[in-house]
Amino acid sequence: MANFSQVIAADDAAPFDFKNTYAGLPERFFVRLNPTPVRSPQLIRLNNGLAKHLGIDPNQLQTMQGVEILSGNRIPAGAEPLAMAYAGHQFGSWVPQLGDGRAILLGEVIGQDGVRRDIQLKGAGRTPFSRMGDGRAVLGPVLREYIVSEAMYSLGVPTTRALAAVTTGEKVMRERPFPGAIFARVAQSHVRVGTFQFFAARKDTEAVRFLADYVIARHFPDTESGSQPYLGLLRAVVSQQAKLVARWQLVGFIHGVMNTDNTSIAGETIDYGPCAFMDSYHPETVYSSIDQTGRYAYSNQPGIAYWNLGCFAQTLLPLFDKDVDMAVSQAEEIIGAYPSLFEKAYLSGLRSKIGLLKENEEDQELAQDLLDRMTKNEADYTLTFRRLCDLVGSRPEADEPVRSLFKNPADFDDWVLRWRKRVAKEEVNDVRRQEAMRGVNPAYIPRNHLVEEAINAAINEEDFSQFDKLITVLSSPYDDQPDFAKYAAPPRPDQVICATYCGT
């Protein structure tokens, strides 16, 4: 194991006011250990706003001591560093032991909103769960996670967040040596479907119960008082996942590795690896280089979340009822609600995206017709919906910018005739509808070619200016930012990125 002797001991003036609970669970839930120190940590970026929200003084985190904490070289007072145990289905195959192989939970803080959140260092060194891995993270994926998770937050999609990124001053070997980095991640918790699976697979029902009680108290306190809190837990997790994946679909986000160990019980998007936002719309889009069969393609995401929820439900069966058949039928009833919960959230979002406030039976078909035409015409997903916001309800005077995104603009013309008929049934004027549409159809998403450009400049030239600028632009995705028009543009053909890499 690593030599921890260089770790600087806790001091009193710690920036974090830790209130740890996970460390109070039975010892078989985790392994206690400190991060492995790194040679020469340097702060790349600190999320000042998030730090303040968490009750952390950002100035303190920017000092040398703060950067030592963010790199794992110094253990702040109150931290109880540990690596969490979990298992999971990876691409459908069962792996009985995964666990934090390169992430260390420092502890929990309670933010200004009263919500408890984990502070975790990703890339903090080897742990007993590292298997063949080196416990480290490289700069590219750290920057990617920073950019994309913060963009998701600003888009209004539940997600883990980026508190900071540091470089380590060490090289990490992948296809070639890359600069090492550590990502300080904030999450409502790091409990995953795979955490439940870890104990269920070991027939450790006591641990499953501890974990369920813990998750209910931490994330779903409303279900605690019900007569059947464990059924309530499943119901709550099903509902959160349905809403989360609907949000992904609506912004064109493809997670890329929807394994059960990457499915947060708190309903946040977690573990950004080869994730990507779609440029031109196609339901079968896959970016991840490791997803050879397209298991986690865009259009499969809702169904995969359903599958993952089935795995979760299975772990809870012994808590539902001693009678297995009874437990299964209770679980099935709750899980069975998922498809309609998803459809409801997705359809409601689609309606808003095309500017409809009222509900009408034909709406789903109308929206689907647009998506089909976009597929056929390779229309850019984000830009099409953003330009739809400018349409005038009664006349084609503002049609050109959006129709020109279609290879065959006549395909759009046919659709917009239908749309106008439908919009005539709304009692809202153009200005109000346009405003509402701009609030749900972002102008800016982390486009793959821009993310790639920012990462390459950072890795190859130590130039973080593009990374910084991208984060600034993406923090207001629904506002027009004329100075940054280039960030809203789809890639030119020579800029299109077809594959993303896990880069662990």
For Mg ion, the closer of residues 270 and 366 by Cβ is: 270
- Is residue 379 a contact partner of residue 280, using CB atoms and an 8 Å limit? yes
| 101 is an interface residue for ligand AMP by CB under 6 A | yes
| Helix, strand, or coil (residue 185) | strand
- Binders of ligand AMP among 269-288, rule CB under 6 A? 271, 273
For ligand AMP, the closer of residues 166 and 233 by Cβ is: 166
| Smallest separation, CB 172 to ligand AMP (Å) | 8
For ligand AMP, the closer of residues 137 and 244 by Cβ is: 137
Residues 46-51: contacts with CB under 8 Å, at least 24 apart: 46/70, 46/163, 46/164, 47/150, 47/161, 47/162, 47/163, 47/164, 50/161, 50/162, 50/163, 50/186, 51/163
Angle formed at CA 410 by CA 405 and CA 411, multiple of 5 degrees: 75
Give the separation between CA 86 and CA 99, rounded to whole angstroms: 4
For Mg ion, the closer of residues 68 and 268 by Cβ is: 268
DSSP 8-state secondary structure symbol assigned to residue 108: E
- Is residue 270 a contact partner of residue 187, using CB atoms and an 8 Å limit? yes
Specify whether 271 is catalytic: no
Query: DSSP per residue over 247-261, as a string?
Result: HHHHHTEE-S---GG
- Binders of ligand AMP among 7-46, rule CB under 6 A? none
String marking each residue 344-383 x if it binds ligand AMP according to CB under 6 A? ----------------------------------------
Q: Which residues are at the interface with Mg ion (CB under 5 A)?
A: 262, 271
| 130 is an interface residue for ligand AMP by CB under 6 A | yes
Q: What are phi and psi of 69, to 5 degrees?
A: -65, -45
- Is residue 413 a contact partner of residue 403, using CB atoms and an 8 Å limit? yes
- Is residue 189 a contact partner of residue 196, using CB atoms and an 8 Å limit? no
Positive or negative, the CA dihedral 472, 473, 476, 480 is positive
Active-site option among 261, 279, 291, 411 = 261
| Smallest separation, CB 180 to ligand AMP (Å) | 10
Among 128-136, 176-184, 296-304, 413-421, which window interacts with ligand AMP (CB under 6 A)? 128-136
Q: Which does 98 bind (CB under 5 to 8 A by kind): ligand AMP, Mg ion, none?
A: ligand AMP
| Smallest separation, CB 123 to ligand AMP (Å) | 8
* Residue (of 435, 428, 447, 431) closest to 480 by Cα position: 435
What the block records as the tokens of 429 is: 């004027």
For Mg ion, the closer of residues 49 and 133 by Cβ is: 133
For ligand AMP, the closer of residues 196 and 406 by Cβ is: 196
| Smallest separation, CB 218 to ligand AMP (Å) | 22
Q: Of these, 135, 232, 267, 302, which contacts ligand AMP (CB under 6 A)?
A: 135
Query: DSSP per residue over 349-402, as a string?
Result: HHHHHTT--S--TTHHHHHHHHHHHHHHHT-BHHHHHHHHTT--SS-GGG-HHH
Q: Of these, 82, 257, 445, 471, which contacts ligand AMP (CB under 6 A)?
A: 257
Among 9-17, 134-142, 181-189, 371-379, which window interacts with ligand AMP (CB under 6 A)? 134-142
For ligand AMP, the closer of residues 130 and 364 by Cβ is: 130
- Is residue 105 a contact partner of residue 84, using CB atoms and an 8 Å limit? yes
Among 11-19, 126-134, 310-318, 477-485, which window interacts with ligand AMP (CB under 6 A)? 126-134
Q: Of these, 34, 47, 120, 262, which contacts ligand AMP (CB under 6 A)?
A: 262
Positions in the binding site for ligand AMP (CB under 6 A):
98-102, 129-130, 133-136, 257, 262, 271, 273, 504
Catalytic residue numbers?
A: 261
